[in-house]
Amino acid sequence: MTDKNLRKDIKIAKLKRLYHPLGLLVAIVSIAYGEFTIRVNDYLIANTEPYFQSLPVKVIGFALLLAGLTKMIGILTDNTLARKIGIWSLSGVWFALFVLAVTFSFGSGYPHPSYLFNFLAWASCLIVSFKGDYRE
């Protein structure tokens, strides 16, 4: 009998716990950065070498915007699937931007500051994923 009560109390406590605020922060930063990338024409291309001129800037901006909105909708509506898809998508996009920044940094011979920002955003996505910002 006590095991049933304990399980019930644990389940209620899990439902009452606050979500990890880093997930919300990652979603907001991704939405803002995606919108900025879309609005400011050729922002990413201006910060890269000439061999990255075919970089799909608008696609990257829309990917960040869509993934960030998916994560935000999942948080606000408490939709587990949207949270999972959002954070996994954000992890992929931020990792791709980090790899691009590191490639640019080593290709040009001097460190570029955008790799640190992209790494922190990607690391935050991983922290949210590992902490379980979504309910199983």
On whether the pTM is more than 0.85, the answer is: no
Helices (H), the chain: 2-16, 21-39, 43-46, 57-77, 80-108, 114-131
pLDDT tens string 102-121:
777 666 666 667 778 888 99
Q: Which pairs with CB-CB distance under 8 Å and at least 24 residues apart come from 46-51?
A: 47/104, 47/112, 47/114, 48/100, 48/104, 49/104, 49/107, 49/108, 51/107
Per-residue pLDDT of the chain (136 residues; tens, 9 = 90+): 567 888 888 877 766 655 568 888 999 999 999 998 888 877 766 665 555 667 788 888 899 999 999 999 988 888 889 989 999 999 999 998 888 877 776 666 666 677 788 889 999 999 888 876 555 3
Helix, strand or coil, per DSSP, at residue 53: coil
